[in-house]
Amino acid sequence: MLRNISLSVRRGEAVVVAGPNGSGKSALLRLATGLVNVDRARIERPGLPAPPRIGYAPDRLPPQKFTSTEYLLHMGRIRGVPREKLLIQIAELHERFRLAAGPVRMSEFSKGTVQKVNLMQTLLGEPDLLLLDEPLSGLDDRSQRELLAVLEEKKRNGVAILAAAHEPELAARLADRCVTLNHGELAGEPERPRATLRRIVCAASIKVLEELRTADGVERADLADGCGSYLLRAEAADRFLLTALSAGASIESVTPDA
């Protein structure tokens, strides 16, 4: 299914693999585990300890006949995390993902709750690489925000993240790079995912336009004849607009940009 793919992820970097359903995103992530189709891929992990500590969240974790605590205890103990340390981490993860650690088995959980346990197990034992297949799938808005905050934190701590997502939310908020898979082939590696950039065009005095050039999140600015075209990160767009308007600029257009 996958053909001629070469992909690298650096420490502290998040790469999101986008693409329609059936494009091979999940297959690519399974391949990256090094446990599937091992004869068809070469995986190099320079900088990762041996054996590598990889957290993998499949698209759908099959719900098992364990409670969330039992399951996480098993996975953590298999990873070699001492029991006392593990119990503390499991309690923290339950709190962070707002999941009650009760006697109910995962086989009775909703899809969203199983997904929370799926993501929680990837974080056990300080992984160096996270492979996340549709991590936001099934999560409510608050849990999605919490997960993104956790992943941002992991990135800052040097964890490499490779995630597959068909919705733009993950790419927009987490990705340092976004690659697109189409029919099993990579369709290029743009520096930024499409959804993370906005082009804002405004009119103002040259002094205001020059000041806006240094505003937070601006990647590129083209100024000409009292008009400025700014390319900036999507999350900085609202703040930029407020700054521009309060400086007396007139907004002419706001558009997504590649």
Partner 1 sequence: MASFLALLHYCHTGYMRSFGYIAPMLLYFGSFAWLYMVAPNPVMSSYGFTAVLLYAVSAWIAFGYIDAEPEAQQIVTALHAQSFLKFATAKLAYLALLTAPFAFVAVFGPPLAGVFERAATAEELALALAGHLLLSWLGIGTGVLFGKRLFPGKSYKLLVLLLVIASSVGAEGIRNALPAFAAPVVWLLPPVRLVMRVFIGEDGTGPAAAMTAAAGYAALQFVLFVLILKRKGL
- Catalog residues that contact partner 1 under the rule CB under 8 A: 30, 33, 35-39, 51-56, 58-62, 64-66, 70, 74-80, 121, 124-125
If the CB atoms of residues 27 and 236 are measured against partner 1, the closer one turns out to be 27
Q: Would you say 77 and 143 are in contact if contact means Cβ atoms under 8 Å apart?
A: no
If the CB atoms of residues 53 and 194 are measured against partner 1, the closer one turns out to be 53
Give the CA angle between residues 181, 182, 184 to the nearest 5°: 80
Q: Which residue type does 10 have? A: R
| Least Cβ distance, residue 33 to partner 1 (angstroms) | 6
If the CB atoms of residues 161 and 202 are measured against partner 1, the closer one turns out to be 161
If the CB atoms of residues 52 and 217 are measured against partner 1, the closer one turns out to be 52
Give the CA angle between residues 40, 41, 46 to the nearest 5°: 160
List the 227-233 sheet strands across, edge first. Answer: 218-224, 227-233, 197-203, 250-256
In angstroms, rounded to a whole number, what is the distance separating the alpha carbons of residues 228 and 86? Answer: 54
If the CB atoms of residues 125 and 228 are measured against partner 1, the closer one turns out to be 125
| Least Cβ distance, residue 257 to partner 1 (angstroms) | 37
In angstroms, rounded to a whole number, what is the distance separating the alpha carbons of residues 25 and 166? Answer: 9
| Least Cβ distance, residue 94 to partner 1 (angstroms) | 18
| Least Cβ distance, residue 205 to partner 1 (angstroms) | 58
φ and ψ of 246, to 5 deg: -70, -20
**What is the Cα gyration radius of the chain?**
21
Q: CB atoms < 10 A from the CB of 33, how many?
A: 15
| Least Cβ distance, residue 103 to partner 1 (angstroms) | 14
| Least Cβ distance, residue 127 to partner 1 (angstroms) | 9
> Does residue 28 sit in helix, strand or coil?
helix
Query: How far is CA 127 from each of CA 12, 51, 53, 112, 144, rounded to the nearest angstrom?
Result: 12, 11, 5, 23, 20
Query: How far is CA 128 from each of CA 42, 50, 51, 156, 165, rounded to the nearest angstrom?
Result: 19, 11, 11, 12, 20
If the CB atoms of residues 65 and 145 are measured against partner 1, the closer one turns out to be 65
If the CB atoms of residues 55 and 228 are measured against partner 1, the closer one turns out to be 55
| Least Cβ distance, residue 12 to partner 1 (angstroms) | 21
